[in-house]
Structure 1
Amino acid sequence: MTLIIGIRSKDGVVLGSDRKVLRSGEVEYSNKIFIVNNVALAVEGLTGIRDDSLYLLNAELQRGRGVDTLYEMKVIAEDIIAELTERYRDRVREEMPIGVLMAGREYLVNGKALLYYIHGMGYGEAVDFLCTGHGGHYATSLAKFLPKKDHDVIENAKRVAFIISWVTEDVDVTVGGDPDVVIVQDSDKPASEPIEQLDANLVNNMKIKAKEVKKRFADIIFGST
């Protein structure tokens, strides 16, 4: 019950997700992108295991272990994901019940913006593009063509918001809520808050545009009849 999209742009990275969550059999809407130690994490999989992963990550950081790079955050998250998968794989009957897409600057407060995807077995790799989650199959055909690596982060963030809005409810009922989209720009200058939220007005504009295009989609492809 998730759609997560990550894309490398010419000046940074974009990370987006829907907000529909299934908890105790009930649908609710909440953020799926979490900011931990200046790193944005979008987590796919079972909600309870997601909650555990964030709790364990915060607990590890609170122990006073010095973490100064995104790579170190990746390594810590890999161990946590591997442990949780080992614990719950048989119980929930899913081979990989959790996955995490991370976005942040190389040195957390400065440096090149990077994306890492951590697979359920606890293996992470750098990616320039990822479209995953239950809605990922539906979104990939658009996500392959609309965002471009030579666009800036704002333009790609708008397009990610459009894609999530396109898939929401009408295409995949497990994907829903307003798009949650964050931006991490490349920068040599340290910043206390390097992760920015896409402006709510731009998100709303993309929601409206997606609805308009859906109504005209057949005419766009085949012409009006």
Structure 2
Amino acid sequence: LGDMACHIVGPVFKVMELGFPTEVNCSVSTPYVDNFKAGYFPDSAPLSSSVHFKYKGKNGEDIKLNWMDGGIQPERPEELGPNEIMGGHNDLGNGVIFEGTKGKMMCGVYGDDAQLLPTSRTQEVNVPQKYKRIPGQAEGHYKQWVDACIAGYGKQEVDSPFVEYAVPLTQSILMGNLAIRSFNYRKEVNGKITYPGRGITLEWDGVNRRVTNFEAANQFVKRNYREGWPDLEL
């Protein structure tokens, strides 16, 4: 997930208009520090991870979002030719695959190089432009942000609105990291080390920002501030 998830899955949130995730589960790689001796580094990102989110769509349907990193990739779509690159052509295999009820499509990082599958359909189907383009393309986002700050909160329309887009996107990425951290949470029971956060699905209350079925995970949602610093109200 790191700092790339927001750039890769941003188009998913924009197109699907996703809100907060309702549940998430994951599996992560195990580092070894010696022969048959697993290392334990709970505060570091794993070498690879596979994280699975579930959302409620606008019409109440379940929408699944699967994230893979560290060299792990999903199964290649049957519609993709053996020599065709999966994902963005300039992104070394990074990107998104959309699977819908009527077909599939893929794109690279930032939504670049979007193509229908099979890719020949991209030239056959005329898709009308839905989202307006920002002057200056990628660099134009910075100017739009500065202009909005100068205008004042709520006084200028932006193409990446905070509440409708940035908040659920950011919370989802953090929720994925929370699942990974919970996967590596361990406790001692009767002299044995156990991992109670593994093999379960975390159920998430996005409004109240709490895991509802695994209390140990909530210690990572909000920190205890140092003495002398007030508890911040989020």
Taking structure 1 as the reference length, the TM-score comes to 0.26
Q: If each structure's helix is expressed as a fraction of its own residues, which one has the higher value?
A: 1
Higher relative contact order (CA 8 A, sep 6+): 1
Higher gyration radius (CA) = 2
Q: If each structure's strand is expressed as a fraction of its own residues, which one has the higher value?
A: 1
Taking structure 2 as the reference length, the TM-score comes to 0.26
